[in-house]
């Protein structure tokens, strides 16, 4: 098997369509191969596809030549990256440096710290493959440890330590877990979207009965959710109870100051603008929590009036646009912590909650955005920034706001009774237009870890 990573630059073609076309192109040209193509990582103007090729001949060079016409057939341009993670290339070389072991395998040079290697020994004495827990006492490893003997045997790196302990690591495991590979990989492959991209993807909604009974349907739903940050279930009975059942199929419900399941109308019963008929600009919810709620569920149970459409904006799409246009402004929003605050003083409800963190939260090893806090209503006093940075912060915030407010980035959806929407509150901003009449919405927040856990247990790549 050969894994290829292709960097493709979009010319108005959706990633899903590109997958289909590249796959078809390959199959017509490389007929002795089993081919699978999937979107690995997506940015506004380019996306990475992972191609898996199982070739009886195993001749990569021949396949690589044939990939080019396949790319032409897909009418896509590609540029710099044809990254080979060659399972067919089992050769490995290593070099022992003073501070690390350098391993070259599958075309990727990787460096492993010696303490790290002892710490990650997978022998039964060091690690339980039953509980997947570490047995080795990391605090007892000599920080100057070096292996006495190093060999590569049968696809494994084998180290003998000074105390005679033997560690054996499969080369593929080392490759998958090396920093060098991780820094080139998306933690969570996503398809970033504006309104046009999302509509053209034509993602189907799950259907209530099948969703409740079929794990395959749940898996498809979660795959859509992980890729786009939003997903729908249709034909749900318009009750709080049925909505709760649907959400429990995915995750535990996260109880907050609003309760487990909340149900609101425009009765101003809580000290929050959500409980009015006013339009609400795009925002993420609970930015004032130290860990903002990961997923939000909405179900419009009743609306006797006009207006009230829901606005959805992919915040990560806007963030990537900002990164391309103004990397220094992106960097500022990703490093300066600010405060969000919720103060409620209504009859029966007194709350004062604060959360601190930057607008953009980025994994430092691969620069992938994983959480956005954007709520101009709930942003607290800006007193965490030195005076000589405040102006630059406002400029950066304005530029991100401009991206978020581009009409082409706005997806407007009319929520109707029966249609339940799941929104990734770490990524997708929501808002609404003003409305008239009685409008009753129910929903809840979900525990992010549990949603990801469900997806992972169904075999999906779900890591954040």
The residue number whose beta carbon is nearest to Fe ion equals 285
Kindly state the smallest distance separating residue 447's Cβ from Fe ion, in Å: 18
Kindly state the smallest distance separating residue 377's Cβ from Fe ion, in Å: 9
- Residue appearing with tokens 């709080």: 240
From the list 30-38, 261-269, 278-286, 443-451, the region that binds Fe ion by CB under 5 A is 278-286
From the list 49-57, 103-111, 218-226, 282-290, the region that binds Fe ion by CB under 5 A is 282-290
Kindly state the smallest distance separating residue 341's Cβ from Fe ion, in Å: 15
Pair 302, 417: CB distance under 8 Å: yes
Kindly state the smallest distance separating residue 412's Cβ from Fe ion, in Å: 16
From the list 219-227, 280-288, 298-306, 413-421, the region that binds Fe ion by CB under 5 A is 280-288
- If 0-12 CB within 10 Å is exposed, 13-18 middle and 19+ buried, where does residue 56 land? exposed
Pair 262, 442: CB distance under 8 Å: yes
Helix 60-73 / helix 15-29 crossing angle, nearest 10 deg: 130
- Residue appearing with tokens 């990787």: 110
Please tell me whether residue 41 binds Fe ion under the rule CB under 5 A: no
From the list 21-29, 208-216, 279-287, 443-451, the region that binds Fe ion by CB under 5 A is 279-287
* C-beta of 285 vs 368, nearer to Fe ion: 285
Task: Count residues binding Fe ion (CB under 5 A).
Answer: 1
* C-beta of 237 vs 271, nearer to Fe ion: 271
* C-beta of 221 vs 374, nearer to Fe ion: 374
CA distance 314 to 316: 6
Kindly state the smallest distance separating residue 289's Cβ from Fe ion, in Å: 13
* C-beta of 41 vs 285, nearer to Fe ion: 285
Strands 438-446 and 253-254 turn out to be antiparallel
* C-beta of 275 vs 370, nearer to Fe ion: 275
Kindly state the smallest distance separating residue 274's Cβ from Fe ion, in Å: 6
Please tell me whether residue 424 binds Fe ion under the rule CB under 5 A: no
* C-beta of 217 vs 378, nearer to Fe ion: 378
- Residue appearing with tokens 């039964």: 124
Residue 339 three-state SS: strand
Of 187, 244, 184, 192, nearest to 424 by C-alpha is 192
Pair 43, 111: CB distance under 8 Å: no
From the list 73-81, 285-293, 352-360, 409-417, the region that binds Fe ion by CB under 5 A is 285-293
Of 93, 103, 66, 58, nearest to 82 by C-alpha is 66
| N-to-C CA span, the chain | 28
Kindly state the smallest distance separating residue 316's Cβ from Fe ion, in Å: 18
Residue 187 three-state SS: coil
CB atoms within 10 A of CB 227: 22
Residue 237 three-state SS: coil
- CA 58 from chain center: how many Å? 33
Kindly state the smallest distance separating residue 191's Cβ from Fe ion, in Å: 23
Pair 232, 297: CB distance under 8 Å: no
From the list 71-79, 189-197, 246-254, 281-289, the region that binds Fe ion by CB under 5 A is 281-289
* C-beta of 114 vs 342, nearer to Fe ion: 342
* C-beta of 15 vs 443, nearer to Fe ion: 443
Pair 354, 379: CB distance under 8 Å: no
Kindly state the smallest distance separating residue 273's Cβ from Fe ion, in Å: 9
Please tell me whether residue 285 binds Fe ion under the rule CB under 5 A: yes
Q: Which residues bind Fe ion (CB under 5 A)?
A: 285
């Amino acid at each position: 098997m050969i894994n290829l990573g292709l960097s493709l630059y979009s010319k108005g073609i959706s990633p899903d369509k590109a997958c289909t076309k590249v796959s078809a192109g390959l199959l017509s040209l490389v007929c002795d191969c089993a081919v699978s193509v999937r979107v690995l990582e997506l940015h506004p103007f380019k996306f990475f596809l992972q191609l898996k090729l199982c070739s009886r001949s195993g001749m990569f060079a021949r396949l690589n030549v044939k990939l080019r016409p396949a790319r032409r057939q897909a009418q896509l341009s590609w540029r710099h990256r044809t990254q080979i993670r060659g399972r067919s290339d089992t050769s490995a070389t290593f070099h022992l440096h003073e501070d690390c072991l350098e391993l070259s395998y599958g075309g990727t040079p990787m460096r492993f710290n010696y303490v790290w290697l002892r710490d990650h020994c997978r022998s039964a004495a060091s690690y339980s493959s039953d509980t997947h827990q570490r047995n080795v006492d990391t605090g007892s490893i000599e920080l100057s440890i070096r292996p006495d003997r190093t060999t590569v045997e049968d696809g494994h790196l084998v180290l003998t330590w000074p105390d005679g302990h033997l560690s054996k690591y499969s080369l593929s495991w080392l490759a998958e877990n090396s920093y060098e590979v991780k820094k080139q990989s998306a933690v969570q492959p996503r398809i970033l979207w504006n309104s046009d991209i999302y509509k053209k993807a034509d993602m189907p909604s799950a259907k209530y009965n099948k969703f409740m009974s079929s794990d395959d349907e749940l898996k498809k739903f979660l795959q859509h959710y992980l890729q786009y940050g939003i997903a729908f279930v249709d034909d749900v009975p318009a009750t709080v109870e049925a909505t709760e059942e649907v959400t429990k199929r995915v995750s535990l419900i996260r109880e907050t100051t609003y309760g487990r399941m909340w149900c609101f109308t425009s009765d101003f019963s809580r000290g929050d603008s959500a409980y009015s008929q006013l339009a609400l600009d795009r925002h993420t919810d609970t930015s004032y929590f130290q860990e903002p709620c990961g997923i939000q569920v909405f179900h419009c149970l009743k609306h006797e009036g006009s207006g009230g459409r829901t606005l959805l904006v992919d915040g990560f799409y806007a963030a990537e646009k900002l990164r391309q246009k103004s990397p220094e402004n992106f960097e500022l929003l990703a490093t300066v912590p600010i405060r969000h605050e919720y103060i409620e003083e209504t009859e029966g409800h007194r709350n004062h909650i604060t959360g601190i963190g930057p607008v953009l939260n980025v994994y430092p090893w691969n620069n992938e955005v994983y959480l956005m806090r954007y709520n101009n209503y709930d942003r607290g006093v800006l007193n965490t920034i030195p005076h000589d940075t405040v102006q630059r912060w406002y400029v950066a915030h304005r530029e991100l706001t401009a991206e978020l407010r581009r009409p082409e980035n706005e997806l407007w959806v009319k929520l109707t009774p029966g249609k339940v929407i799941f929104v990734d509150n770490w990524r997708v901003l929501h808002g609404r237009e003003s409305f008239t009449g009685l409008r009753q919405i129910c929903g809840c927040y979900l525990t992010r870890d549990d949603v990801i856990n469900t997806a992972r247990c169904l075999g999906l790549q779900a890591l954040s």
